[in-house]
């Protein structure tokens, strides 16, 4: 069974940094693209970033470019999102998702809440 | 990187059918057969219902169907059930390795 479990969320002040992690199990980790998708409170889903199998290709939504960095450790079956210069509008539940092909996501984690507030 | 356009709400009575639209452009919905639909109940992770416009993952009832015409995709839920009351999101490949989501549609079963 595919499992994805996010961690690392919490309360951070504007301008601060936070590192999210996603621990994966139940599949061959280094065979798949992985993504971060977020959802602001009461709002819709927003794709944030994705990374290819070997970690060399990374793509971001415009609003986080230069502030967020996606990475992965295939030896530890883990995905990361390093977030810096955080803004109030980054407040959201952040989901880790496994790309199922054709920009679709069959497997999702439960999410971790990031709150940016003073 | 504009979001896809969905109606904010939709409704239907048990047993009826309802269709939710998802409008994009020729650079996303119209340009690729990479439209997906998700169902999300409160405080839960999204669940994939439809991928590649009309395909259903194993375990998704045939009551859920997808289609596309030009730059607009649609999700039809037939034989509405109380458990179908949820938020529904479309998504599409947007080119340049980006993925776009719609703003979401709240489906109410009357």
- DSSP labels, B7-49: -SEEEE-TT--EEEEEE--TTTTTT-S-EEEEEE-TTS--EEE
As a whole number, the mean pLDDT across chain B is 96
Q: Do A47 and B93 touch (CB under 8 A)?
A: no
What pLDDT, on the 0 to 100 scale, is given for residue B97?
A: 86
State the Cα–Cα distance between residues B66 and B53, nearest whole angstrom. Answer: 6
Read off the DSSP letter of residue A1: -
Query: Do residues B35 and B54 touch, judged by C-beta distance below 8 A?
Result: no
| Smallest CA–CA distance from A42 into chain B, residue | B42
What pLDDT, on the 0 to 100 scale, is given for residue B2?
A: 73
What pLDDT, on the 0 to 100 scale, is given for residue B1?
A: 60
Burial of residue A21 (number of CB atoms within 10 Å: 0-12, 13-18, 19+): middle
DSSP H or E stretch at residue A97? strand A92-101
| Smallest CA–CA distance from A40 into chain B, residue | B103
**Distance (Å) from the alpha carbon of A93 to chain B's nearest alpha carbon:** 10
Q: Do A59 and B98 touch (CB under 8 A)?
A: yes
Query: Do residues A34 and A51 touch, judged by C-beta distance below 8 A?
Result: yes
Positions in chain A short of pLDDT 50: none
Q: Do B36 and A44 touch (CB under 8 A)?
A: no
């Amino acid at each position: 069974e595919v499992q994805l479990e996010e961690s690392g969320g919490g309360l951070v002040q504007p301008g601060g940094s936070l590192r999210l992690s996603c621990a994966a199990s139940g599949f061959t980790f280094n065979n798949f693209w992985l993504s971060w998708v977020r959802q602001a409170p009461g709002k819709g889903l927003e794709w944030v970033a994705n990374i290819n199998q070997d970690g060399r290709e990374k793509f971001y939504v415009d609003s986080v470019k230069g502030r967020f960095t996606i990475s992965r450790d295939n030896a530890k079956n883990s995905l990361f999102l390093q977030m810096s210069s955080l803004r109030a509008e980054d407040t959201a539940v952040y989901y880790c998702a496994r790309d199922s092909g054709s920009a679709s996501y069959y497997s999702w984690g439960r999410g971790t809440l990031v709150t940016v507030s003073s | 990187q504009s979001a896809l356009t969905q109606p904010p709400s939709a409704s239907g009575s048990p047993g009826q059918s309802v269709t939710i639209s998802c409008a994009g452009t020729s650079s996303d919905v119209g340009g690729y057969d990479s439209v997906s639909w998700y169902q999300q109940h409160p405080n839960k992770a999204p669940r994939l219902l439809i991928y590649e416009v009309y395909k259903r993952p194993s375990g998704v009832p045939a009551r859920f169907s997808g289609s596309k015409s030009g730059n607009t995709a649609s999700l039809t839920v037939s034989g509405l059930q109380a458990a179908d009351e949820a938020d529904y999101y479309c998504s599409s490949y947007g080119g340049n390795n980006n993925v776009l989501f719609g703003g979401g549609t709240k489906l109410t079963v009357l």
